[in-house]
């Protein structure tokens, strides 16, 4: 029996490499998937199609998660299409990298609004269903940038650090209702923006990773699947690093 048979998951930012891997990982364990996207409909539908090809259930849905009403619509889509919601994965995120002195107000706000406020809107929308069911899994995709800081990413690091605080606060608020809230902090993953980096910069990043390589999207997805499963029922308010040892506490 698949670990997540009968469950329904919303994965935000499922059009990206990491979000797509998470959606596929959850689907392989039996979850029905709502694959959210902001602008890349083709990529999100490709993920949903791949899930359907595996014999799973999936649909793609568009939404601007900086708007609370869009977040509610994405969650409502899961309820209307699949009859419930069991898992929320807040993965959607953007970058607007530059040094603080050069950072425009709109670059700061865009990243905070998408990466942090977007997760807040989705959590608030999903909690109505989770509280009614007295169960649920919320998994927030943060980053090592939120733990160690990254030069040129003050907005991104601040949003991801805020997401860790949000994770812990919500975990305390809803634990008595059987809902767990955790975060996964990827390090240098061979996906998304890292694929655009020059080879010499990639090499410098890899040199800092004790395991000596970039991570794979599927390795992050495996941590998400675990936290979504019954095996993780006694884990809440935690941050699991999938970073090759880059950040050690």
Residue the block writes with tokens 């889509």: 77
12 φ/ψ angles, rounded to the nearest 5 degrees:
-85, 150
Query: Strand locations in the chain, DSSP E?
Result: 8-11, 32-37, 58-62, 87-90, 136-141, 179-186, 239-242
Return all residues near 107 (Cβ < 8 A) that are at least 6 apart: 96, 98, 155
Q: Contact at 8 Å (CB) between 91 and 18?
A: yes
Residues annotated as catalytic (active site), given as ranges:
156
Interatomic CA distance for residues 169 and 57, integer angstroms: 32
Q: Which residues contact 15 (CB under 8 A, 6 or more apart)?
A: 35, 37, 38, 39, 40, 41, 43, 44, 47
Strands 58-62 and 32-37: parallel
Which residue matches tokens 């970039």? 214
Which of 61, 53, 70 lies closest to 8, judged by CA? 61
Reduce the DSSP state of residue 17 to 3 states and report it: helix
Which 8-state DSSP code applies to residue 165? Answer: H
Count the Cβ atoms, other than its own, within 10 Å of residue 161.
Answer: 18
Q: How far is C-alpha 142 from the geometric centre of its chain's CA atoms? A: 7
Q: Is the dihedral of CA 137, 138, 141, 144 positive or negative?
A: negative
């Amino acid at each position: 029996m698949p670990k997540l048979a009968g469950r329904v998951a919303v994965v935000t930012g499922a059009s990206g490499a990491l979000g797509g891997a998470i959606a596929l990982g959850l689907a392989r364990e039996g979850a029905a998937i709502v694959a959210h996207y902001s602008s890349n409909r083709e990529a999100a539908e490709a993920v949903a199609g791949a899930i359907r090809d595996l014999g799973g259930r999936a649909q793609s849905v568009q939404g601007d998660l900086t708007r609370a009403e869009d977040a509610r619509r994405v969650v409502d889509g899961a309820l209307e299409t699949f009859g419930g919601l069991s898992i929320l994965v807040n993965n959607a995120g953007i970058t607007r990298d530059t040094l603080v002195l050069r950072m425009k107000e709109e670059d700061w706000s865009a990243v905070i609004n998408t990466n942090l406020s977007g997760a807040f809107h989705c959590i608030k929308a999903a909690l109505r269903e989770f509280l009614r069911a007295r169960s649920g899994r919320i998994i927030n995709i943060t980053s090592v940038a939120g733990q160690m800081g990254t030069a040129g990413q003050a907005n991104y690091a601040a949003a991801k650090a805020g997401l860790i605080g949000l994770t812990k606060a919500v975990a305390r608020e809803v634990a008595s209702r059987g809902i767990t809230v955790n975060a996964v902090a990827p390090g240098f993953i061979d996906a998304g923006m890292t694929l655009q980096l020059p080879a010499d910069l990639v090499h410098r990043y890899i040199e800092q990773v004790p395991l000596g390589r970039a991570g794979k999207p599927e390795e992050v997805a495996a941590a998400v699947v675990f936290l979504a499963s019954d095996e993780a029922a006694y884990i809440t308010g935690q941050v699991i690093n999938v970073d090759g040892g880059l950040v050690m506490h």
